[in-house]
Structure 1
């Protein structure tokens, strides 16, 4: 007879039989398998009528269903998403835009499984938001645990960060039957994928607005969580009036003469260095970084490329255009997005606008967002820190002064404007200010990829 024991993120097989999922550990002369294979191991033993003793599970006793009170009715697409996840053996990923109500689907999934649940999120801010959402549906408070940010309170429903789950996965891996991965694209990294491998949890739900990663490692998610079981984009939900419609406008500005001169000079020097290194074709940044490690000319080229991009992204002409836009939209609630912290503070100083960057303390950030929500602040400027992991109040206009080519970054920023609106005719406006005749045009097109065929929603007017 084989005895199954949970051992630091793995299943130890103590006995005469092993499975196709296990490997031999010469240190102890026994077979072991990753925790994720626990359901398959049990199925293998039962199918082959192999006797075994199961000492793996140490699940925390779940809360009674009667302690929950969810009054908010699911929309049709949310019901369909939950139904498809259930029919896929309660495993898989749901892809919905920011503001489409992924959290309420997850709360209903917790009720459906009625098991111990670990919710894993990327930031402490999101941990607090999930905690508040969970507390609001419980009749008796103080029954939700938090792990991370100084909290070590593990309960039948616990909310933690990816960092804390990574550090504790070998200990927690047999205590939760249901895993919820918020912003599941994080799980695909080499570091965090260990979380999915060490937990024995048979039920898994991944939530995100964009599952694709630039490094293409998102394919790992399908093994760790399950395939995509439901997906709707902003276009489909806007057409059904679940999210606000939007209009994208690209405004091209001419950089100042001195900026044009500096930009062209650096690009020329960059191309010359590539040619000297026998590179006569466009090269991806990732490959250039790798090659630059052993080539001094390519290191110089990389620096020149970055300096040229900084000139384009931070052109003073953009500030002038921004001032013009703000003068013509004095009644709108506006979020200004930038990549660079220095530009964010420059805008804040020039226009006396509250700014949120990675340097902003949580208390100040929350105060700014609360005043923006109440209308005490009409405009805020932010860096990438608001792209993910923060509950941002509604705005009806976004202005992108600078950004990367990431589709996820664009979708996250767009999602800040596309929250459900009472007025179905309410159209959100997203304006991109781009430096003409620079690589920023290519960067903008890359991040817009996937929406260019949504003509009904997008009014692209280059100026």
Structure 2
């Protein structure tokens, strides 16, 4: 445990929550699980390293800001994308009295330190990984990050840290406390256990269903729609044979081809189109997810809706996200197609409906993260309001097996019924 009040070696950070900010009871519980301020003697106040698990939309950022404001030492915030780092920076400025000059950025082309001996720096996991070919300004910023003694490092989407390279980069940083944030302690490769060593144990874990019942996050109706293939596509699917040439490669290729046919099943596209039309007419905001880049490009083109994927520039993505959030008739976007890039770190409180046309095998974490995109729906407090989560599945294909695994997770771990 770190006795932060009695450590004069780190410069104090003037970080105070704005008086009008409303803190929810479970956020206070999370704060108490991490920071011990029970003693009358402030020199005995301590903070420990570990992980906070809160559903998307339950205010993970604010919870971590509460902890940083209690410690009042230099903060490093590590995010998964540039947009997420910018969003986190905006939250610090919105929720606290922190001056903009006390924030620094080391993400993409934005590279500047904060002013003075203490502040908050925002970066991404990618920027922390050693890169021999860094430009001089990046080298200077990397040196700043590594030479600074951080009071607390906030690791957003901490489940990504066990990825090779990231964990090594994190352990090299000098920090009194490491605080991980995630919506789900799941990785399909079982490496989640590594977080115990790299960050610390889970200190607070809020149950999704409980928060929904208390009105903090939206209630969700999950629906799986199963559709069979058209005869032509079924014939093509059955005709795909693994070649005896390079077994591994070809098996991979045949699986790729079969999954593409299952996604591009015309009946599935038709159902997707009808759901979009139905929900747009009701004034909903819809996110359509597909992991397969070629397939999602085709869907977006055929259904004439905008798309954000890895090849979309940060500027275009930012513009589309802003237009998705607004209700003005002229500029607004009501449906947005997203590749796997939309699984994490996009702040989209306007979204009320998700349509999943394909997903990453049976990944439970991905299912939870996608569901999280509609948990903070702005209308969540309206009587009788439910967000909707649709999974479209082609029958008699591998999609059925994978969807069962994910469905079981949502029912058992998150408490959401499927229909």
Q: 1:298, CA displacement in angstroms?
A: 3.2
Look up the match of 1:85.
34
| 1:409-447 deviation line (CA, Å, top 9, x unaligned) | 111111111115231521011111110111101111222
Superposed CA deviations along residues 3-45 of structure 1, whole A, max 9, x for unmatched, are xxxxxxxxxxxxxxxxxxxxxxxxxxxxxxxxxxxx99xxxxx
Matched, 1:114 2:72: yes
Alignment of 1:416 onto 2:416: no
Distance 1:228 1:336, change over 3 A: same
> Structure 1 CA distance, aligned partners of 2:34 and 2:369?
24
Superposition deviation, residue 171 in structure 1? 6.1
1:138 equivalent in alignment to 2:97 = yes
1:326 equivalent to 2:283? Answer no
* Alignment equivalent of 1:389, drawn from 345, 348, 351: 345
Report Cα offsets for 1:217-239 as digits up to 9, x if no partner: 11111111110011123222112
- Where 2:412 maps in the other structure, the secondary structure is coil
**Match in the other structure for 1:283:** none
Instruction: Work out whether residues 170 and 198 of structure 1, in 8 Å CA contact, stay in contact via their aligned partners in 2.
Output: no
Match of 2:183 among 201, 209, 232: 209
Alpha-carbon separation, structure 2, partners of 1:166 and 1:410: 28
Alignment of 1:118-197 (within 5 A): 118-136=76-94, 137-138=96-97, 140-155=99-114, 156-167=119-130, 168=142, 172=146, 174-197=148-171
* Separation of aligned partners in 2, 1:410 and 1:130: 23
- 8 Å CA contact 1:244, 1:424 repeated in 2: no
For the 8 Å contact 1:339–1:384, the answer to whether it is kept is yes
The residue correspondences of 1:6-405 to structure 2 (distance < 5 A) are: 61-65=11-15, 69=18, 71-87=20-36, 89-136=47-94, 137-138=96-97, 140-155=99-114, 156-167=119-130, 168=142, 172=146, 174-266=148-240, 269-270=241-242, 296-329=246-279, 330-331=281-282, 332-375=284-327, 376-404=332-360, 405=362
Q: Distance in 2 between matches of 1:348 and 1:388?
A: 20
> Which segment is superposed worse, 243-252 or 445-454?
445-454
Aligned counterparts of 2:402 and 2:297: Cα–Cα separation in 1 = 23
Say if 1:169 and 1:198, in contact at 8 Å, map to a contact too. no
Secondary structure at 1:328's aligned position in 2? Answer: helix
Quick one: distance in 2 between partners of 1:262 and 1:164? Answer: 44
Give the secondary-structure state (helix, strand or coil) at the position aligned to 1:218.
helix
Counterparts of 1:325 and 1:83 in 2: how far apart (Å)? 44
In 1, are the aligned partners of 2:300 and 2:306 still within 8 Å (CA)? Answer: yes
Q: 1:402 to 1:450 in 2, by over 3 A?
A: same
Kindly tell me: are residues 188 and 454 of structure 1, through their superposed partners in 2, closer, same or farther at Cα, counting changes over 3 Å?
A: closer
Shift of 1:358: 1.6
* 8 Å CA contact retained: 2:150, 2:176: no
SS at match of 2:150: coil
Secondary structure of 1:452's counterpart equals: helix
CA contact (8 A) 2:223 2:390 kept: yes
Query: Where does structure 2 lack aligned partners over 5 or more consecutive residues?
Result: 37-45, 131-141
How far the C-alpha of 1:174 sits from its partner, in A, is: 4.9
Cα separation, 2, equivalents of 1:224 and 1:369: 33
Residues 208 and 414 of structure 2 are in contact (CA less than 8 Å); yes or no, is this contact kept in structure 1? no
Are the equivalent residues in 1 in contact too, given 2:356–2:392 (CA < 8 A)? yes
Larger radius of gyration: 1
* TM value normalised by structure 1: 0.76
Cα RMSD after superposing both structures? 2.5
Per the TM alignment, residue 169 of structure 1 is displaced from its structure 2 partner at its CA by 7.5
SS at match of 1:448: helix
SS of 1:252's equivalent in the other structure is strand
Normalised to the residue count of structure 2, the TM-score between the two structures is 0.84
Distance 2:19 2:198 in 1: 29
SS at 2:224 equivalent? strand
Asked whether the equivalents of residues 82 and 105 of structure 1 are also in contact (C-alpha less than 8 Å), the reply is yes
Question: What are structure 1's unaligned runs of at least 5 residues?
Answer: 1-38, 41-56, 274-294
